Structure 1
Amino acid sequence: MNAAAPALMTSTEMMLWSAAAGALGLVVLLALADAFYSRSRAAWHTLAYLAFCWLVVLLLCGLPGELWPAAIEPLRIAQILIGPFGAAIGSVGASEWLSAHQRDRLMKVSLLAMTLVCITGGPLCLLLPPQWALPVSAALAIANLSVVLWLSVRATQLGDRLAWGLALGCLLTLPAQIGLYALALNPTRLALLAQAGVALAALLSVVITAAMLWLRNRQIRQMMDGDVSRRDPITQLYDGVAMVQKIIRAQRRRLRTRRDGALMAVLLFEPEALLPQIGQAGLNDIYIQLARRMQRHTGAVNPAGRYYDRCFVVLLETMHSPRWIRTLGLRVASSLRRPMDVTALGGQRIRVNPDIAVGIVHLSVAGKDVAQLLHEAQSVAQAARAMRSRAAMLDPETRIAVPVEHAELGSSWRALRNATPQTPTRPKTSSPKAPRAGRHRHKPA
């Protein structure tokens, strides 16, 4: 390549960028320690993203070229490739971080499209004339960052408070990335004060983004391990009052965002029948296991609570398609019905089949009283007890509880809303009342 090489660094500039690279390297080392400690996939993704951010700063600021002048050509190629590849990793991580596959089709499609564009566009930049290769690579990386910033702000409007931190990190990354590419493209170097501003913006953006990634990973780990101190002392979920407040706030946001979601209720039937065998401690263990299984499928971004002793509720504030209601309902019902091992009063481990049912109510822009929504969800769950899949929802036309696998959900939220009557009616059940006995079965493990 014959692109003009940047001017040599002064000693002050060398000190500035060496300090910035060292500070960013410390963040990467902390992420490496967290990945080894937690051993989770999300932590390794965080490490990969932060390592790429460190490489982007290191390559674009020109520090490696000062240390290894003979490697100018390979470093120039690395400058062209590192931006789009780092942006692709960022898009994949942002998609998981925002739970785009669950909450919003636009998020999912946009991030997937930008990932594919960056992965394919980066190597293609090498085929361009030398004077255009790095500018086009920069345009790909900055365009991807702009999309992630926009979708982070969109996630905040859908009720994700942590997304504000990610949006702030992206907002600081934008001038940092522009400044770094200006350094790589400008043969005369920027003023020292401007370089210090770019270095500070890069450091702050990486620190804030790393903090948000760590907070989400911690939230997921606590959800999976059940070691977070919430309101309910047994299941570590929100209590009924907190869930009612969250549903009220979600309904207010829904009037502004015009988005659709769902409210899920999970009922455990006749838990008192197990008390003679396992006692209250064993019953509490069942509640804890049910809460963990439920949250594995509903995710950390969807608030889950214990409405009362044997009723759990999950607020699915946004979902990308109506058919996801069917998928999620069947997954949760299937997971919660699996046998679980608990300790009996005699100390031996026994296997229990929980008698559960799942009821789902569609949430649209039409305002409904929270008490009515919770009543409908529990009524549908009661009806689901007599169904084979143990998961039900209200038919949008007849307002009768039907198995989710047979519900006519349509191809879009608009079709589902158009099929729903405008005047609310009390839910009906299409199945006879379930028997009261013989639902819990246990055997030695």
Structure 2
Amino acid sequence: MTDAEIIIWSAAAGSMGLVVLLAAAEAAYSRSRASLQSLVYLGLYWLFFTLLSGLPAAMLPPAAAPWVHVAQVLIGPLRSGMGFYGGRHWLASSSRDRLTDISFRGTTWLCLAGGPLCLLPPPALQLPASGALTVVSVCVMLWLTVRAAQHGDRMAWGLATASVLTLPLQLGLYRLALGFGPLSTPVQAGVALLGLLGLLGLLGLLGLLGLLGLLGLLGLLGLLSMPLIAGLLWLRNHHSRQISHHTRSRRDPVTQLHSSVVMVKKIIRAQRRQARTQRDGALMAVQVFEPERRLAQIGHHGLNDIYNQLAKRMQRHTGVVNPAGRYYDHCFVVLIETLHSPRWIRTLGLRVASSLRKPLEVTSLSGERLKVSADIGVGLVHLAGAAKDVAQLLHEVQSVATAARAMRSRAALLDEISRQAVPVENAELGASWHAMRTARSHPARALQSARQRRTAT
């Protein structure tokens, strides 16, 4: 490597290393699982970039060459495997889309097992095999993220953008490591630039946007990366968006959930996407009954604290992928655009109802800490591609939530055949969405089958 090339790669690796160190400090401070996963993946990204750039071979003694070669072979598949593991949780594929979830799981194990297997061929073929596996995994990740974005997860476009930036980066790094002809200094600078841009995308997706200001020290690079930074900042930095007056009108000031106007627009757009993708989901409503009877004891501040805690518990089970809103004071609405199985409706309804019924700690007007239980009902309505009036959908799901108050589980589902609210644990849910569509098309036949099953049990 020439002096100019060493300067380019050292500067890029040093900038990435500084970000990794700050991510480590954040992980030590927050001690959360998400920050630890972010640290692991950013560290692997930095190792991948540094090892394949040729810096270790140029700076370490020749005796370390075999160990550097083994590390170069293993780092690509290992980084890809960890990326698929984190991406599966980030996109909540386990509940949204069965094909996506199976692809994530399969590719994760393929990468983790394929890395050591790449050491079995002759030494001259080990790095090419590792490179082929890594590049193919990036293409699979790009396909899965685009698929998730088409199913309604708009933030998946950010991960797809990072995958697009990563693909030419990996091709350039593997060509550099394999020595397939010399690369000019400007081309190597371009590859290093792609690596840093890809890191910016990862930082935005992982919620570490506060670290991006440090990369402004790179001058021109900072200017070139501003569009990507701005786009990811707009997607993930919710708190700064809420400062403006326009954003405050779109968010509930107590729970920070979407407003009713925003939720109506999201439901309309979801129906359009479902008509195109032929996917199925559900609309959930959480009704809080007679909250005003606690005003004399806890006041408006305590009541708002109850709403805030209920909203957080609800989102913990529905996930940030599914938009949630406060339809009005006593009612929350969650749009679950994609579910891979009808039985997830039952699981989700029971989990949310069970969580929201647990005692909440609030402060009374006298300053005492009290434990209170909210009187709630959870209603669910099947959401399919067939266009349906949003006002009718919201009326139906609120009626089902009201009916759930008289049920043991406090969770109810609108039956596709009788159009009546039934306890979600007793609902007739088929093994697939196709079976539910068939039941809706032939209600008499489905009702007879249901009676036969009840008689048999």
Q: Same fold (TM over 0.5)?
A: yes
For structure 2, list consecutive stretches of 5 or more residues without a partner in the other structure.
Answer: 211-232, 444-457
Distance between the aligned counterparts of 1:232 and 1:28, measured in 2?
35
2:175 pairs with 1:153: no
Q: TM-score normalized by structure 2?
A: 0.86
2:295 pairs with 1:281: no
Single out whichever of 235-244 and 331-340 deviates more from structure 2.
Answer: 235-244
C-alpha contact (below 8 Å) 1:232/1:239 kept by paired residues: yes
C-alpha contact (below 8 Å) 1:364/1:417 kept by paired residues: no
Distance between the aligned counterparts of 1:187 and 1:348, measured in 2?
72
Single out whichever of 361-370 and 213-222 deviates more from structure 2.
Answer: 213-222
Distance between the aligned counterparts of 1:407 and 1:181, measured in 2?
54
- 1:221–1:296: structure 2 CA closer, same or farther, 3 Å change rule? farther
Single out whichever of 384-393 and 348-357 deviates more from structure 2.
Answer: 348-357
Give the count of matched residue pairs: 413
Identity of aligned residues (%): 60
C-alpha contact (below 8 Å) 2:203/2:209 kept by paired residues: no
1:292-351 CA-partner distances (Å, limit 9, x unpaired): 111111111111111111011001111121111111100000000001122223322222
Aligned position for 1:39: 31
> Which residue, 15, 24, 49 being the options, matches 2:7?
15
2:78 pairs with 1:85: yes
2:162 pairs with 1:142: no
2:263 pairs with 1:239: no
Aligned position for 2:359: 339
2:34 pairs with 1:55: no
Q: Between the two structures, name the one with larger relative contact order (CA 8 Å, sep ≥ 6).
A: 1
**SS of residue matched to 2:286:** strand
Misfit runs of 4+, over 3 Å:
215-223, 226-230
- CA shift for structure 1 position 222: 7.5
Q: TM-score normalized by structure 1?
A: 0.88
> Which residue, 401, 404, 410 being the options, matches 1:381?
401
Partner letter of residue 390 of structure 2?
Answer: V
- CA shift for structure 1 position 36: 3.1
C-alpha contact (below 8 Å) 2:363/2:370 kept by paired residues: yes
Distance between the aligned counterparts of 2:282 and 2:32, measured in 1?
29
**SS of residue matched to 1:420:** helix
Single out whichever of 325-334 and 205-214 deviates more from structure 2.
Answer: 205-214
Partner letter of residue 114 of structure 1?
Answer: T
Distance between the aligned counterparts of 2:190 and 2:367, measured in 1?
64
- CA shift for structure 1 position 37: 3.8
Aligned position for 2:431: 411
Partner letter of residue 235 of structure 1?
Answer: T
For structure 1, list consecutive stretches of 5 or more residues without a partner in the other structure.
Answer: 1-8, 424-445
- CA shift for structure 1 position 422: 8.5
C-alpha contact (below 8 Å) 1:97/1:216 kept by paired residues: no
Distance between the aligned counterparts of 2:57 and 2:112, measured in 1?
25
**SS of residue matched to 2:333:** strand
Distance between the aligned counterparts of 2:40 and 2:328, measured in 1?
42
Aligned position for 1:75: 68
2:320 pairs with 1:300: yes
- CA shift for structure 1 position 151: 1.4
C-alpha contact (below 8 Å) 1:334/1:389 kept by paired residues: yes
Distance between the aligned counterparts of 1:422 and 1:288, measured in 2?
43
Distance between the aligned counterparts of 1:147 and 1:188, measured in 2?
28
2:24 pairs with 1:29: no
- 1:303–1:47: structure 2 CA closer, same or farther, 3 Å change rule? same
- 1:311–1:216: structure 2 CA closer, same or farther, 3 Å change rule? farther
Mapping for residues 312-327 of structure 1, pairs under 5 Å? 312-327=332-347
Aligned position for 1:438: none
C-alpha contact (below 8 Å) 1:91/1:111 kept by paired residues: yes
**SS of residue matched to 2:120:** coil
C-alpha contact (below 8 Å) 1:27/1:207 kept by paired residues: no
C-alpha contact (below 8 Å) 1:97/1:213 kept by paired residues: no
Partner letter of residue 264 of structure 1?
Answer: M
2:114 pairs with 1:121: yes
**SS of residue matched to 1:319:** coil
Aligned position for 2:230: none
Partner letter of residue 10 of structure 1?
Answer: T
Aligned position for 1:207: 200
Aligned position for 2:228: none
